[in-house]
Chain A
């Protein structure tokens, strides 16, 4: 059983928000969908859920067409950016909502809600008003609510975006572990590549309505293929060698003192340190090479700004670009 999206397009007037997108998510896997804001990732997600009508393309689950079904019959769960909890209902009633819609009897409903509240660590919260919850608690209630009706597919539309960074990383780990543990098929949209890398089996990078690159996290990181994907995932420097363009991955860069000899397959470029930022376990160093290029690398000891260094590049770790 697999979610298959093929040739999906969504247009708003003259702008094409989603442009001929195809993707597959096998049962039990999590797809991380990343891209800058406005790239169409949320719209793609909303089209899959049925909240936005697609102008072209098909959406199917295990071979049967979902595109013609209204939202409420697709069996797709959704976690919204601002959690969209029902403020006029208690925590219990929020989680029970989907079960009530399915016409499930009260005793079973109570049992399932208790199970889910325990799963997200909010067992005693059933009677609370939603307005009393902290941001993290609200997100966990939203997750329990989305999971309660046992959706075939869960869509997460940057559910952690509103939280502060530390809280977000923690919750993101919890969320990932939980989805894996449950074997829940999901698409997790985020604009933060770290979040996606941490959360997903497969990554898809979107830009301007198109999927630029899809694959496992390490495949995408090692071989981004396009300038856009390379810079989006943090390969900031592009160099040209033998008429081809390469993205310089951080693991391809070593920064050494000027007088250290370098092997022939690892050419050294002389330059000067322009910044050195403490990162706890190491220093992140930005170097401006004499030929004008910028490189970023990591060193164990502090380097003063203005220090002359050599940037050694491991050619085997350069990522060739197609564009």
Chain B
């Protein structure tokens, strides 16, 4: 249909997000690949062959895979009871359960690491018969804690809307409830389950803070090894070669995930919420234990973290919080100054994400088809790049000429915004796409100019979704650790997650206490921003 295009000045505007992504994302990633493959002039060739042949790196790659696989499998097992309960039974607090289960997922990863450190401290799991400190078990527990929400939310909502009549047909044909579940329901749940688990695998494969802080030196994955090679050993060629392996693996996982998600989205007829009230004692026991079991598992680390933040040897006190004002010897600035830094970066990153993500969303929805497709892909690519490779790429690329931003304040919010922009776009674009085009036509026939149409219709409707996205951007920036470890090298620009990591890394009650207090502050701010932002989203369901 050749409808009159309302407004023609889209091309120059589209260049802003394209240029931003080009300079701050595409160029660094291409440079990283280039160096990793040894193609740069004057470089000393690729280490890729050496790295792949080296037994130590082979072990690291293997460990990266199997810890992710095990974390994913255990996440599925841990999530199943609650997923079943929210999908099949109505109970008081069902909505709240869906929201609360999401809290661990939005917590900054350093806070999760802090919470599990708190658990180990509190329950004496650092030594003795049950020893968790610096074990794979600690890493995997933290991963499961973090990712349960992914399965509960996506599979749960799919399952709750799944047509139950095939299952009932199986029952009338003589199948037991368990048999009907296995033979009829489970196969239909498989596509969304696989899509959710592939996301969990991707997250745990690229996990950084949890592995670095809970695993210790002995438990290296690709992500932590890139960090170590680049920033501890200053061995850029090796770090670049490892990054190539990481980029390729993540790209493959992203492609697999996209394919799985597409299959999951158009296979089953979904017909509104089918959950039933609880019936009978056995049912009540099952639902109650599913809810409380999961609640306990998710609440214990958070509660312990809060408890530890107030604990000193001589009882409960605010001392850990008060100490944040004073600079600890192990930190270049006081924790409170770090908080000020983090908030300033978060405001800047959210502002950049608002500008770039907002423009990109408009162009994606309204632009000429080829341009909007290019932009949509370009702005979503950072999702498929691990934070560490992104930070590393920026660090080694933007180091000369006009783009020498290594010492600049802005490099931190810019890098963080790259991770946040896809979330802004994923929040806004579906809402703009869902606007009935006749609304814009109606506005035009009522005398609205193209600019007024954008303001009165697109901005007015998309504004709330944009607010949600910008809230996420703020939260992402606050908690960002992987990329900031690379670009936040100036000691006066220390952020809260970097400060927590440093404090957690050292022994000593005082520092631990401060780390816990700082984690609690970060947790509260992040959770507030995300939960409030999500309520804003016009879909009513939020995007979480």
Residues of A within 8 A of B (CB): 12, 49-53, 70-78, 80-82, 84-86, 88-89, 97-98, 101-102, 145-146, 148-149
Contact = CB atoms under 8 A, between A and B. Distances in A.
Given A88-B460, A97-B456, A72 B447 contact: yes
A102 B447 contact: yes
B446 A51 contact: no
Contacts of A101: 443, 446-449, 452
A53 B441 contact: no
A80 to B, nearest CB: 5
B538 to A, nearest CB: 8
A84 B444 contact: no
Nearest to B437: A84
A72 B449 contact: yes
Give the interface size bracket for B toward A. 20 to 34
A86 B2 contact: no
B44 interface: no
Nearest to B5: A53
Contacts of B448: 72, 97, 101
Contacts, number: 82
Given A12-B2, A52-B4, A86 B439 contact: yes
Contacts of B446: 72, 77, 97-98, 101, 145-146, 148-149
A49 B461 contact: no
Contacts of B4: 50-53, 70-71
> Which secondary structure dominates chain A's binding surface?
loop
A191 to B, nearest CB: 18
A49 to B, nearest CB: 6
A145 B4 CA distance: 22
A149 to B, nearest CB: 6
A97 B453 CA distance: 11
> Which secondary structure dominates chain B's binding surface?
helix
A84 B441 contact: yes
B400 interface: no
B323 to A, nearest CB: 48
A258 to B, nearest CB: 57
B52 interface: no
B314 interface: no
Nearest to A47: B4
Interface in B424-465: 436, 438-439, 441-450, 452, 456-457, 460-461
Contacts of A97: 443, 446, 448, 456
A82 B438 contact: yes
B53 interface: no
Contacts of B450: 70
Nearest to A96: B446
A78 B442 contact: yes
B3 interface: yes
B435 to A, nearest CB: 9
Contacts of A89: 460
Nearest to A50: B4
Nearest to A86: B439
A81 B436 CA distance: 12
B445 A71 contact: yes
Contacts of A51: 3-4, 441, 444-445
B96 interface: no
A7 B26 CA distance: 52
Given A76-B445, A80-B441, A102-B447, A52 B3 contact: yes
B41 interface: no
A10 to B, nearest CB: 8
B1 interface: yes
A149 B439 CA distance: 17
A63 B478 CA distance: 64
B436 A84 contact: yes
Q: For B438, B439, B460, B538, which residue has the most chain A Cβ atoms within 10 angstroms?
A: B438
